[in-house]
Amino acid sequence: MTFKVLIVDDSSFYRRRVKDILDQDRSLEVVGEAADGKEAVQKVKSLRPDVVTMDVEMPLMDGIEAVKRIMAECPVSIIMFSSLTHEGAKATLDALEAGAVDFLPKRFEDIAKERSDAATLLRTKVRLLARRAPIAPSRPKPATTTGLLKKVPPPPARKMPANAPKSTFVRSSTLLSGSHEATEPVNVSHVQRSGKRYRCLAIGASTGGPVALQKVLTHLPERFPFPVFLVQHMPGTFTHAFAERLNQNCRIKVKEAEHGEAVVAGCAYLAPGGKQMEIEKRAGQAYIAIREVDPADIGYKPSVDITFNSLSHIYGGDTLAVILTGMGADGREGCRTLKSLGGKIWAQDKDSSVVYGMPQAVTVDKLAEVNIDIDAIGQCILTEMS
């Protein structure tokens, strides 16, 4: 099967560069190019691509406005190309809120040390996103004078049937075929309190994670009784802006984690991009430890596995770990360790995941107890941890 791609960038040189990379994959066909957002909207309607690669800064209509128009009129999976600056991060987050599903640094040397690795990652992302049905934004962005989203109340909780079991079965779906054998995950939209003791909540995410994390965290109250540890695969220049935005949107406090700070309940700590976040304990108090990583390390930075494994030494099985949408299998081994100690593992379901990779990994290895729609995870967390 061949997937159609539209390349949008005001630089003809950059469009040619992206096209040369995608042309190396026989399953990808570049069906058109556009030099600005206005032309992109028109070509999406006429060419019906499976994936669009979109620059943020363009004349006539920028990438953010183009994403809004496309997702409103002819939804399609969109990957943004962004500069690794604070302003670039803010613009990219705006594009993700408007409906784009993923982003990559515009400079290929910022993606990977070797150009061939960067090209492979781009082709992989395009293929994965081409296979999924586009998901239109669930709600419009409220207008503000600052350009930031206002804090919004969570959706009302859905009532549980009187005779519902601990996990209310909704439907089963077969996992995407891949390196794992297909299995039938239990998909639920509600849970009943299990009575388990907790001391922390941990969430890992990658592709599609920024929007998914916001959906989950907007459910948590200002005085949530546990610390929350967040690991999102994201460049270092993005995580500070992302933490600021989450803090604006959510009632719980959200911040980029800092080395040496004491962990307190009611605060969500976002792992800094390009580094590793671990939790340590001294004199009975948990502290954040931010580790620099070897530049030669090609692993995830930050890594869900590294953070989750450190939690196992401090909180043991008193942890609820949630794996959200994302490529790869980061988080699986950390979840394995937590579950061996009695921790509870949940995963986002296939239908609401941008990429059902990380959730699939913990599901097929029978680590995740259930798969849950992203719109229901926040309320399920409140029910389980209340």
How far is Cα 315 from Cα 318, in angstroms, rounded to an integer?
A: 6
Task: Pick the last residue of a domain from 85, 101, 130.
Answer: 130
CATH number of the domain residue 292 falls in: 3.40.50.180
| Pairing state between β 285-291 and 186-191 | unpaired
The structure tokens listed for 75 are 């939804």
- Which of the pair, 145 or 260, is modelled with greater confidence? 260
Among 141-145, 263-267, 281-285, 315-319, whose mean pLDDT is lowest? 141-145
From 25, 330, 349, 373, the catalytic residue: 330
Q: Are 358 and 325 spatial neighbours (Cβ–Cβ below 8 Å)?
A: yes
Number of domains in the chain: 2
189 is catalytic: no
Same domain for 335 and 191: yes
Whole-angstrom distance, CA of residue 311 vs CA of residue 10? 46
Task: Determine, yes or no, domain membership for 376.
Answer: yes
Same domain, 126 and 171: no
Q: With contact defined as beta carbons under 8 Å apart, do 84 and 110 qualify? A: yes
Instruction: Classify residue 194: in a domain, yes or no.
Output: yes
Residues 7 and 88 in one domain: yes
Q: Over 70: is that where the pLDDT of 270 sits?
A: yes
Instruction: Please enumerate in sequence order all residues whose Cβ is within 8 A of that of 44, keeping only pairs 6 or more positions apart, or say none.
Output: 6, 52, 70, 74, 76
Give CA–CA dist 174/177, Å, rounded. 9
Of the candidates 77, 83, 189, 206, the residue annotated as catalytic is 206
Domain assignment present for 122: yes
Residue 104 backbone dihedrals phi, psi, to 5 degrees? -140, 150
CB 315 within 8 A of CB 307: no
Check if 110 is active-site.
no
pLDDT tens digits for range 319-377: 999 999 999 999 999 999 999 999 999 999 999 999 999 999 999 999 999 999 999 99
3-state class percentages of the chain: helix first, strand second, coil last, to nearest 5? 35, 25, 45
Count how many residues are written for the chain. Answer: 386
- pLDDT, one tens digit per residue, over 43-77 is 999 999 999 999 999 988 999 999 999 999 999 99
For residue 140, being part of any structural domain is answered with: no
Range with the poorest average pLDDT among 67-81, 136-150, 196-210: 136-150
Active site residue 233: yes
Q: Of the listed 50, 83, 190, 233, which one is catalytic? A: 233
- Contact 100/79 with Cβ under 8 angstroms? yes
Residue 107's pLDDT band (boundaries 50, 70, 90)?
confident
Domain assignment of residue 41, given as a range: 3-130
123 shares its domain with 175: no
Residues 108 and 251 reside in one and the same domain: no
Examine the domain organization and report whether 99 and 171 are in the same domain.
no
78-82, 116-120, 225-229, 382-386: range with lowest mean pLDDT: 116-120
User: What's the pLDDT band for 135 if we cut at 50, 70, 90?
Assistant: low
β-partners of residue 230 are 203, 270
158: CB partners within 8 A, 6+ apart: 189, 190, 376, 379
Tokens of 183: 């299995």
In this structure, are 262 and 369 located in the same domain?
Answer: yes
- pTM comes to 0.85
Q: What is the pLDDT of residue 294?
A: 72
The enclosing domain of 47 has a CATH number of 3.40.50.2300
**Based on the domain organization, do 217 and 303 belong to the same domain?**
yes
Statement to judge: residues 208 and 293 lie in one domain: yes
The tokens describing 264, both together, are 């307190």
Distance CA 275, CA 9 (A): 31
Interatomic CA distance for residues 216 and 210, integer angstroms: 10
Kind plus residue range of the DSSP H or E element containing 256: strand 253-256
User: Above 90 in pLDDT, residue 205?
Assistant: yes
Residue 152 covered by a domain: no
Helix (H, G, I), strand (E, B) or coil at 228: strand
Q: How distant, in Å, are the alpha carbons of 219, 245, 247, 265, 266 from that of 222?
A: 10, 16, 11, 10, 7
Least Cα distance to 119 among 3, 28, 30, 24 occurs for 24
Residue type, 367: L
